[in-house]
A and B are shown apart, each in its own frame.
Chain A
Amino acid sequence: DVVMTQSPLSLPVTLGQPASISCRSGQSLVHSNGNTYLIWFYQRPGQSPRRLIYQVSNRDSGVPDRFSGSGSGTDFTLKISRVEAEDVGVYYCMQATHWPWTFGQGTKVEIK
């Protein structure tokens, strides 16, 4: 199975400051069709997950442009340009290139 390793697992942030979450995969996430199926999700306590980013860097409709995804191969990053109070929660990366699909452990973002 492809292991997805997120860091840090806990991220205290200051409102208005940038934040960055790393996600590394145990093998390349480039699919045989040339696409890279790396997805980022956000989850507030007690709520269903919400997809933020798909195929590394494509932001979902309604996702603020302060969120951006980047990376390639085995190394990916989710960045928040200026953290807002509503961004508090847990962020997960996931790979949907290799079966079985696998999630990272999650990164808890909280306000300092």
Chain B
Amino acid sequence: EVQLVESGGGLVQPGGSLRLSCAASGFSISSYDMNWVRQAPGKGLEWVSYMSGLTGSTWYADSVKGRFTISRDNAKNSLYLQMNSLRDEDTAVFYCARGHFSVWGQGTTVTVSS
């Protein structure tokens, strides 16, 4: 069964860091483009970051560029999102999604608050 499971969310103070993980099963992430999408409480969806399965090239939303870094570990079949310099407005549920969003994880909650 194709599945994505996110983890690593939690409560962090403004200015802090957090690393999210997305464990894939049923397929190899090295063969697919992968994404992070977030949803602030009561708000809509916001695309955050993308990594090409073929080339490893990456793209970011302007709101996170320079603060967030997407990466993957093919051996662990996992995708990551390193989040630094976190702000209150980064509070959201973070989802990983495969390709053009055909498969989604259940999400992990990040709360940035003092």
Mark A residues whose CB is within 8 Å of B: 1, 37, 39, 41, 43, 48-51, 54, 60, 90, 92, 94, 96, 99-106
Contact = CB atoms under 8 A, between A and B. Distances in A.
Contact of B47 (A60, A101, A105): A101
B61 A100 contact: yes
B68 interface: no
A105 B95 CA distance: 18
B101 interface: yes
Contact of A1 (B50, B62, B102, B107): B62
B100 A37 contact: yes
Interface string B81-114: 0000000000000010000111011110000000
Contact of B45 (A92, A99, A100): A92
Contact of B46 (A51, A96, A103): A103
Contacts of A37: 100
Interface string B38-58: 000000111100100000000
Given A41-B45, A41-B101, A94-B45, A100 B59 contact: yes
B104 A100 contact: no
A102 B101 contact: no
Contact of B104 (A49, A101, A104): A49
Contact of A48 (B62, B100, B104): B104
Given A48-B95, A48-B107, A101-B50, A96 B44 contact: no
Contact of B44 (A50, A101, A103): A103
Contacts of B104: 48-50
23 contacts: A1-B62, A39-B100, A39-B101, A41-B45, A41-B101, A48-B95, A48-B105, A49-B95, A51-B101, A51-B102, A54-B101, A54-B102, A60-B102, A90-B44, A94-B45, A96-B100, A99-B59, A100-B47, A100-B62, A101-B47, A101-B59, A102-B47, A103-B44
